[in-house]
Structure 1
Amino acid sequence: MSFLSNLFRRKPQAAPRPLFYDIVCPYCFSKFSPEEVVFRASHHREDDEDYALGEDELLNKYRERFGLDSVHDMEAILHPLDVPEEHRLYSDHVLTGLTDRYGELTRRRLCPHCHNELPVTAGKVPSNIISIIGASQAGKSVYMTSLIHTLQHVTADHFDAACMPLNAEISRKFRTMYEEPLFERGDLLTSTQKEKMQEPFIFQFVFKDEEKPPLTLVFFDVAGEGMVDQDYLGLHGQHIKNSAGILFMVDPLQIRSIRERIKINIGDKPGEFVSQYDEPRDVVLTMFGDFIAYQEKGKTDIPTAIVLTKSDMLTALADEEGTYIKTNSNIFNPMEHRKYMDLDEFANIDGEVRRFIEKVDKPFKGTMDVYFTDTAYFAVSALGSNPVEQKLQGLVSPIRVDEPFIWLLYKLKYIEGRESQ
């Protein structure tokens, strides 16, 4: 009977798709309607000052913010309202092109706030942006590199997808500044400097199933120091409030109660220890002042994965009794999710890391519970071992680095979750 009832039970109907989606610019993180985009002309003219080459002040202001060179002699900006309705081109109810007064078509859609070119899919699919945040020394740059490398070489294949940089420039920068130093030379990446802003790294996780819209990954490598500096976060942290998901990095060495114990237990090979660490709770409190306080009820419902980094170091705390963590804990074992999220495996890891954080940093755990309504806890090792003198002692062997990302895929309804068979 149950078989027949399952056979004839109607599948729940998917919510109807809206005609278009608000766009979140993957460069400056401003949010706007597809109707607000502007265009860059596809040509220039010397006999018409409206179409003459010139400086784009908004674009150069954006570039200056990241220490990039100004660009000169750019084609003109065209505003849709200056173009007759019949000369506006729509695709799937989204404005995607203009034919100008000279009969020339342009499809170069720009963000109205920073004049960077928008992805082709902007407005047609949700602008789901995932942000990595965390205090200084939490290893965000190393984690980002390890995660992207793993997504491209392993995870994407497990979910019938591909992970690709948005353009050739991002591809080149990521490869030369992050991936090659770490994966080919074993050099540890230097900490992002507060005064040196990194332009966002933008990747798309594109599924072979065309029914699934691509997921835009924006890794905005905010210097960790900025995460506890109110003014800095206000200037460079706008991406957080328009994110669809957050990866919140916590370094176990930030937690005062276990820092000394890890140091003592590691013994002769201390690896990378830094004298100054920001407490994880300070990061949350700064975020609260910047944007969470303005959310309804003073909380945020953005799915947030709390990611305990450098999990390989926790072997120094492990014992049979599980005073902090058990010797045979799942967090030390690599795990691959394929086609779906293994909910039993997730529940085990989430429970273990929650209990660990509760033991070692109750104020942080309490603060997260108060301000975040949708959280999950993970432990990852981007490298697999603790570097010594800025050098890896072996091959990069990531452990569970993609699990928090896979959870966000699940929360954003890109993949399903199943209990173990």
Structure 2
Amino acid sequence: MTSVVCPYCFDRSSAARLPFRCQMSATGVRGGKPCTAELDTVWAEFMGPSVPPALTLRGPVFPGPRGLAGRLGVGGGSRADCPHCGVSTPVRVCLRCHSDFPSDYCDQDTRIIALLGPKASGKSTYVSVLINELRNRVGRAYGASITAMGGETQRRDREMAEDLYDRLRLPEATRPAALGFNDPLLYRLSLPLRRRLLGDGSRHTALVFFDAAGEDLGSAEAMDRYTHYLAAADGIVLLVDPLQMRAVRDQLPVDSGLPLPTVETPPQQIAADLAAQLRAHGRGSSRGRVTTPVAVAVTKTDSLFSLVGPHSPLRRNADHAGGVLDDEDRLAVHEEMRGLLDSWDSGALFRQLERDFAQLSLFGISALGSPPSAESPSDAPKSGPQPLRVEDPLLWLLGLGGLLRRTPAGSTPAGRAAADSAAGSSAAGGGSGSGSGSGSSRRTGPGGAA
């Protein structure tokens, strides 16, 4: 029986048990009168006082048909007739919070991606650029397509693209949870599925991006607001802003002219609080490490070019040849970032991550390709976004979930050398990165990255 994870409250329910919401259409068959809006107290309590009272009046919620009719029904159970007006509706709602699901959300599996990072680390810009790359350069390489699901995501997706790519304006900061609920972004990712007997087809996955405001990551108590979200995540992208690290600022050229953000919550503190929350909600293994895969993405790598060599993998995008993930390329980036972290904080952040998370990998990304002007820090560069490796963290997480084909690290001499180097560094650090959540025999990369 298919289970559905609500992208708003992250409650998991059987798809067959989900209720429906009447759309209050005038085309009913019982007298021709549409249903009248009712106060949805469940949804109103979940959304909180920031929602105007008029918006809490919504179409009536009713249970779906029972028995065989509920399992089969019109469109395979994806629609139901309102018992009051008789109009068929495709709108299903969450049992726990009564949030409406997009019409096709329940028809495919779901990957919930948690996005965490301190204030000014570029989370909103990252998501906007990532979606654009998945639609264009990366989507072409993998034969993939991605579309926004539901009216709210479609509206925000359109506004983000217009602001960043047409007006060259950076997205506004994510609203803190204390000021109201932040809707997740819902996308449908379609990938080619080739079957020997049945021919070509498509595999559809719902991607849920939930962006936690940087202000909400300042303490374990504040992060607790995201308990259900973090516990339900299939993968976490933790953004680390190098320009908020004092050691990096000290190494940058005096005349760099980079706009430096305010130093916010240290990444070690965010990582430690994240691991504590996940362990407290059943995502820890018997050995104490969290089983949720974590992609640690160091942002704004264009500002670090003075600190890396001319042939650094951070200076170019992966080619994604043949629509296959190159794990050797990922491993090269991981080792480059591990070396940089070691020079910035003596490797303290990486050692903590290795001891807290069973599956992790380091990435280096730049959403814009060059820094905003110091005179106009809220504007994108005049050339527009020229991103570097923004897709890498998400593709790695999707690869772990079996959605993408992967070329294992160590399949070439250069790859074996890099893998041996990574294994040696983990052993030197106490061996905490020797597993992948289900045994060290599956290890193909650093930090237990399977």
What is the TM-score with the length of structure 1 in the denominator? 0.82
Describe how 1:93-132 pairs up with structure 2 within 5 A: 95-99=77-81, 101=83, 104-120=87-103, 122=105, 125-132=108-115
Partner of 1:267: 255
Q: Which of 366, 370, 380 lines up with 2:365 in the alignment?
A: 380
AA aligned to 1:238 is H
CA offsets, 1:30-82, max 9 Å, x none? 222224311113558999xxx653111222334447757752542221124xx
Partner of 2:123: 140
Q: Distance in 2 between matches of 1:157 and 1:373?
A: 32
* Cα shift at 1:277: 2.2
Partner of 1:364: 349
Secondary structure in 2 aligned to 1:220? strand
Partner of 1:231: 221
Q: Distance in 2 between matches of 1:348 and 1:213?
A: 30
CA offsets, 1:194-233, max 9 Å, x none? 2445321111111243755322222222111212233332
Tell me the matched-pair count: 387
Secondary structure in 2 aligned to 1:116? coil
CA RMSD of aligned residues (A): 3.0
Contact kept in structure 2, 1:266 and 1:316, CA below 8 Å: no
Describe how 1:17-96 pairs up with structure 2 within 5 A: 20-41=1-22, 43=24, 52-64=36-48, 70-80=54-64, 83-85=65-67, 87-90=69-72, 95-96=77-78
Deviating more after overlay: 188-197 vs 278-287: 188-197
Contact kept in structure 2, 1:64 and 1:70, CA below 8 Å: no
Distance of aligned partners of 1:211 and 1:26 in 2 relative to their CA distance in 1, 3 Å threshold: farther
Distance of aligned partners of 1:270 and 1:302 in 2 relative to their CA distance in 1, 3 Å threshold: same
AA aligned to 1:281 is Q
Q: Which of 199, 203, 208 lines up with 1:218 in the alignment?
A: 208
Q: Is residue 2:291 matched to residue 1:306?
A: no
Q: Distance in 2 between matches of 1:156 and 1:379?
A: 20
Q: Which of 153, 169, 173 lines up with 1:187 in the alignment?
A: 169
AA aligned to 2:328 is D
Contact kept in structure 2, 1:63 and 1:69, CA below 8 Å: no
Q: Distance in 2 between matches of 1:358 and 1:94?
A: 55
Partner of 1:323: none
Describe how 1:187-336 pairs up with structure 2 within 5 A: 187-194=169-176, 195-196=178-179, 197-209=181-193, 213-262=203-252, 265=253, 267=255, 269-271=257-259, 273-294=260-281, 295=283, 296-297=285-286, 298-318=288-308, 326-336=309-319
Secondary structure in 1 aligned to 2:238? strand
Distance of aligned partners of 1:341 and 1:69 in 2 relative to their CA distance in 1, 3 Å threshold: farther
Contact kept in structure 1, 2:105 and 2:206, CA below 8 Å: no
Contact kept in structure 2, 1:156 and 1:205, CA below 8 Å: no
Q: Distance in 2 between matches of 1:141 and 1:401?
A: 12
AA aligned to 2:157 is F
Q: Which of 380, 393, 411 lines up with 1:392 in the alignment?
A: 380
Secondary structure in 2 aligned to 1:241? helix
Distance of aligned partners of 1:393 and 1:351 in 2 relative to their CA distance in 1, 3 Å threshold: same
AA aligned to 1:270 is L
Partner of 1:413: 402
CA offsets, 1:228-248, max 9 Å, x none? 233332223522221111111
**Identity of aligned pairs, percent?**
22
Which runs of 5 or more structure 2 residues have no equivalent in the other structure? 194-199, 413-450
AA aligned to 1:40 is R
